[in-house]
Structure 1
Amino acid sequence: MSTGVIIAIVIVAAVVVAAVVLFLMRTRGAQGGHGLKRRFGPEYERTVARHKGDTRAAEAELAERVERHGSLKRRPLASEARARYEARWAAAQERFVDSPQEAVAEADRLIAELSTERGFPEDGHEDRLDALSVHHPHHVHGYRRLHRTVHAPADGTPGSRPGTEELRAAMVEARGLFEQLTGEDGHRAPRTEPERTGAAGEPRGTQPAWGLGRRHVKGS
């Protein structure tokens, strides 16, 4: 076999190998993006929006979160601790009637403490959010929204701080993550009584009767 033929064979083989590698890389990238979208759900869409539609940048961020926090081992929550957290949350809900800002601030502290006890990062709010987004992607935004309302800057002018309705909505949405973290295995805690419905037939949870009634909240 001549040298020219051997060189031609080597070149063809190299081209074939390169084509196969490129195909596998593209396939893996597509599967990775699909897997991230399925895993993160609404958090995937929010991350893409934050990157102004750049899915590659968003997926790189989400993949990095999984790499850092995917192997996090959640610690069990003792029944006594669960009861204590639930009592504190109930007290914060009751406080909302007279002091909405103080109530949401307490709820924000409560979720931070609870998540730490369950094994999530203690130092750094953003790092904690990233870890929570990996394990509770469908509920982490409620906590993010709650924290944002608590720490919203005020310039002293009317309307520079979140109003009562915004505080109410943030606390209602954050309750989803709270219930996940107080669950037996880090998922939603089972209810001890059947769901009751309101006048419109909607679940009681959609218009919670825990001190956030519109008629009695000061400042609404």
Structure 2
Amino acid sequence: MSTAVMVVIAVVAVAVLAGAGFLAWTLARTRRLRRRFGPEYDRAVERHGGRAAAERELLAREQRHQELELRELDPHRREQYRQQWTRVQEQFVDAPEAAVEQADRLVTEVMGERGYPTRDFDEKVAHLSVEHGRTLDHYRRGHAISTRAAHRQASTEDLRQAMVHYRALFEDLLAVPDTERHAAQPRTPDGHAPGHHAPGHRAPEPRAAEPHAEAHAGGPRGDVPQGGRRMPRS
């Protein structure tokens, strides 16, 4: 085999390996973005007309997101915000339009305290999509209903749905970080978390649920009729 042929074979082999490596890298990036953005990934593909353009947009969002100085809420502030939400939800009974407006403001206030921009709606959505992509569609729907409500174009049921949508993002923003949750988990005297068993130790078999337990507990939580209206689900 001549030297020229060997050089050609080597060049082809390198090109094939490089192509395979690039394909593997591209697929890995796509999987990562899908996991991170959830439904927002498919929305970006539809909006930008293809995967390549959508991924460029999502990568740009990640870059801008890294420039934010985000912070978690301390437990006291989380509890204060949840109490405020309860008051807003109670207001829904007598003034649903005002309650939806207050819900929008409360969600925006939490965003601001967490460190997110709060001026432009599209900017808020872009930044939220990086860490809250799975509840972002709820925010869009709640905001759309709130906009219609401002023009008296939303029914009471629409307003109830808006409260449910806002609640989804609200709870996501108030979620306890994994590091804080693990730090607060109680420990046994030997330093292990509850439920940890030493090697060779067999955990006790779970007890079967009692029949009709839900009925004894008062049934599942749902909409509670008050004042002639149905409250949003908590």
TM-score, normalising length: structure 1: 0.71
What amino acid is aligned across from residue 44 of structure 2 in structure 1? T
Q: How many residues align?
A: 196
1:34-66 alpha-carbon deviations (Å, 9 max, x no partner): 2222222222233334446x3333333223222
> Contact (CA 8 Å) 2:94, 2:227: kept in 1 or not?
no
Q: Does 1:140 align with 2:136?
A: yes
**Which consecutive unaligned segments of at least 5 residues does structure 2 have?**
182-213
Compute the TM-score of the two structures, normalised by the length of structure 2.
Answer: 0.68
Structure 2 match to 1:20: 17
- Could you tell me how far 1:172 is from its partner in structure 2? 0.7
**Residue 151 of structure 1 aligns to a residue in which SS?**
helix
Q: Does 1:37 align with 2:34?
A: yes
What CA deviation, in whole Å up to 9, does each residue of 1:6-35 have, x standing for no partner? 665555444333332222222211121122
Correspondence 1:80-119 to 2 at 5 A:
80-119=76-115
Q: Aligned equivalents of 2:103 and 2:124: distance in 1?
A: 16
**Quick one: distance in 2 between partners of 1:202 and 1:45?**
37
User: 1:136 and 1:213, CA in 2 relative to 1: closer, same or farther beyond 3 A?
Assistant: farther
> Gaps (5+ residues) in structure 1?
190-196
Cα distance in 2, alignment partners of residues 32 and 203 from structure 1: 41
Provide the C-alpha distance between the structure 2 equivalents of 1:203 and 1:60, rounded to a whole number of angstroms: 44
Is 1:139–1:174's contact at 8 Å kept on the other side of the alignment? no
Q: Deviations over 1:168-195 (max 9, x none)?
A: 11211221221122233289x9xxxxxx
Q: Percent identity?
A: 37
Q: Which residue of 2 is the match for residue 216 of structure 1?
A: 229
What's the RMSD between the two structures over aligned residues? 3.4
Cα offset for 1:213? 5.6
Structure 1 runs (4+) deviating above 6 angstroms are none
2:154 is matched with 162
1:68 to 53, 58, 64: 64
| Larger Rg, first or second structure (1 or 2) | 2
Q: d(CA) in 1 for partners of 2:178 and 2:156?
A: 30
Q: Name the aligned partner's letter for residue 184 of structure 1.
A: V
- Secondary structure of residue in 1 paired with 2:158: helix
